[in-house]
């Protein structure tokens, strides 16, 4: 029996994978389904990687006359006893592929990488743990020779420091990891996941997907969210019936290890981000449903869109939440409006700073006002740094890495103070804590600094206006 800590460790394993690595895993899953295999094996992953023509692993295989077509032929022969008679719409991870994922994580960590990349996966596929010796023999591939080449590549890349242009690459990995960890542990949302995990225990599934999470949310028939979903025609019974129609249940189930599917991880990260954007320090079921809708993929999303095709579901879920919202969503709404005004589709720290002033109340606004900062001055400085664009931007507004970092830092400050909401003072303190942010450059140009701002916040919070 696995402990909760072990389960959490496995749950967030994929959170350390790069987008390319996750895509390779998804392609391996699709390959297994298309070929009618019971589970995903390392052979499927090797085939998926061999088709990535721009990746080093694929190039090395091609140089050694191991084309995707030849790999496919070999894996079909080797896995012919793994086929099932009925078409599969979902497959499990085999023990061998789990070992590959875990070993790749170890290799990445040993080489000082925050991410598990495709080269780590490919290198492990050449190691004994993957069990691909029969396939390599059929391909007449010199496994040791290729493995030595990949080892040198992995080690060489480890010596090159991985830097995001804004210096947040490793921080973003840690944030995502902590987002999921906090979701599983937070009392506000822990019930959702304990129910979802319980559903796995009574089925043959070992991967926690959006559909199990959604079912656990629908089980609670109290509160505004339940009423909103019922009015949209989405109930536990209807969702469950639709799920039975599209999900193939496989009889075999062994060595349970619970992890989130990549789509579930995406939805949960978006749920966590949504909670912060709405000024909440806890992730509630409403945020999880909004995260599923924002992700635009996964079984739960497809069923929700099927049961309620109208695009207004997100708005209906938000309405009851708006009554409980504080100043943070208003600040971010102003920041979005300013981005549109400037002809941009990104919100940076400078626009969050401007949003605090445009909101016109709260501790953050008062501190900036007392320092002699005005909306006019902020706009002038920001336009001088960013410029303006007369073209209308009809794209989804996104946050820059530093803006996301501000929301994360503000969330941490609010949690530390045992607050249930993120307030303007948390956003402002987070902004000045990032010395290399554009917002801090704006404040410096206007004649203020980090110490003045933080002291101003302290005075206001403590009620000392001397």
444 and 342 in a common domain? yes
Write down the pLDDT at residue 202: 57
pLDDT at 164 over 50: no
What total of structural domains would you count in the chain?
3
147 and 8 in a common domain? yes
pLDDT at 10 over 80: no
Ordered DSSP codes for 203-252: SS--EE-HHHHHHHHHT---HHHHHHHHHTT--HHHHHHHHHHH-PPPS-
154 and 175 in a common domain? no
186 and 237 in a common domain? yes
- Give every CB contact of residue 101 below 8 A, 6+ residues apart in sequence: 13, 14, 93, 116
In 3D space, the residue among 359, 361, 182, 171 whose CA is nearest the CA of residue 281 turns out to be 182
Higher-confidence residue: 185 or 56? 56
Expressed as residue numbers, the domain containing 137 is 4-159
155 and 9 in a common domain? yes
pLDDT at 163 over 70: no
Write down the pLDDT at residue 252: 28
Residue finishing a domain among 302, 322, 342? 322
Task: Note whether residue 364 is domain-resident.
Answer: yes
Q: What is the pTM of this model?
A: 0.54
241 and 151 in a common domain? no
310 and 353 in a common domain? no
127 and 9 in a common domain? yes
304 and 382 in a common domain? no
Average pLDDT of the segment spanning 120-149: 89
119 and 56 in a common domain? yes
Torsion of CA 177, 179, 185, 188, to 10 degrees: -170
Task: Note whether residue 164 is domain-resident.
Answer: no
Residue finishing a domain among 291, 322, 353? 322
Residue 383: CATH number of its domain: 1.10.1780.10
Contacts 24+ apart (CB under 8 A), 237-246: 238/307, 239/214, 239/215, 239/303, 239/307, 240/215, 242/303, 242/306, 242/307, 243/211, 243/215, 243/299, 243/303, 246/89, 246/299, 246/302, 246/303
> What digits encode the pLDDT tens for the residues 259-296?
567 778 788 888 888 888 888 877 888 888 999 998 88
Write down the pLDDT at residue 157: 61
Structure tokens at 244: 């039975």
> What digits encode the pLDDT tens for the residues 345-396?
888 899 999 999 998 888 999 999 999 999 998 999 888 888 766 554 556 7
Task: Note whether residue 441 is domain-resident.
Answer: yes
> What digits encode the pLDDT tens for the residues 389-437?
655 455 677 888 888 888 888 988 988 888 888 899 999 999 988 878 8
Task: Note whether residue 129 is domain-resident.
Answer: yes
Write down the pLDDT at residue 339: 86
Task: Note whether residue 174 is domain-resident.
Answer: yes
313 and 333 in a common domain? no
Task: Note whether residue 466 is domain-resident.
Answer: no
Residue finishing a domain among 159, 179, 212? 159
> What digits encode the pLDDT tens for the residues 59-99?
888 888 888 899 999 888 888 887 665 455 556 788 888 88
387 and 275 in a common domain? no
């Amino acid at each position: 029996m696995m402990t909760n800590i072990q389960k959490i460790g496995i749950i967030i394993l994929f959170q350390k994978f790069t987008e390319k690595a996750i895509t390779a895993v998804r392609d391996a899953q699709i390959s297994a389904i298309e070929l009618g295999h019971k589970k995903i094996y390392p052979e499927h992953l090797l085939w998926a990687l061999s088709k990535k023509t721009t990746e080093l692993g694929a190039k090395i295989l091609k140089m050694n006359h191991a084309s995707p077509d030849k790999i496919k032929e070999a894996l079909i022969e080797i896995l012919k006893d793994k086929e099932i008679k009925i078409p599969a719409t979902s497959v499990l991870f085999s023990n061998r592929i789990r070992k590959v994922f875990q070993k790749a994580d170890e290799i990445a960590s040993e080489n000082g990488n925050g991410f598990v990349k495709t080269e780590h996966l490919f290198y492990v596929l050449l190691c004994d743990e993957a069990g691909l010796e029969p396939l390599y023999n059929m391909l007449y591939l010199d496994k040791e020779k290729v493995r030595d080449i990949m080892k040198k590549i992995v080690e060489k890349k480890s010596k090159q420091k991985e830097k995001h242009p804004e210096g947040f690459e490793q921080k973003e990995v840690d944030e995502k990891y902590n987002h999921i960890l906090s979701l599983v542990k937070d009392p506000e949302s822990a019930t959702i996941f304990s129910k979802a995990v319980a559903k796995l225990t009574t089925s043959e599934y070992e991967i926690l997907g959006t559909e199990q999470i959604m079912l656990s949310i629908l089980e609670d028939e109290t509160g505004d969210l339940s009423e909103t979903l019922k009015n949209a025609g989405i109930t536990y019974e209807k969702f469950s019936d639709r799920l039975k129609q599209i999900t193939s249940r496989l009889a075999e189930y062994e060595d349970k290890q619970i992890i989130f599917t990549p789509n579930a991880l995406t939805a949960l990260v978006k749920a966590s981000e949504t909670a912060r954007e709405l000024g909440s320090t806890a992730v509630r079921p409403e945020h999880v449903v909004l995260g599923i809708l924002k992700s635009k993929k996964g079984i739960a999303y497809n069923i929700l869109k099927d049961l309620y095709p109208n695009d207004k579901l997100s708005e209906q879920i938000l309405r009851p939440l708006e009554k409980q919202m504080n100043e943070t969503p208003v600040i971010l709404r102003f920041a979005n409006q300013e981005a549109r005004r400037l002809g941009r589709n990104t919100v940076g720290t400078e626009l969050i700073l401007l949003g605090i002033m445009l909101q016109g109340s709260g501790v953050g606004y008062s501190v900036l006002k007392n320092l002699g900062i005005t909306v006019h001055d902020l706009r002038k400085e920001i336009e001088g740094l960013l410029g303006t664009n007369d073209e209308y931007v009809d794209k989804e507004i996104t946050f820059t890495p530093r803006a996301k970092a501000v929301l994360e830092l503000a969330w941490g400050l609010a949690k530390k103070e045992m607050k249930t909401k993120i307030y303007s003072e948390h956003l402002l303190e987070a902004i000045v804590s990032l010395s290399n942010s554009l917002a801090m450059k704006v404040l410096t140009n206007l004649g203020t600094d980090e110490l003045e701002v933080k002291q101003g916040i302290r005075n206001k919070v403590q009620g000392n206006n001397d």
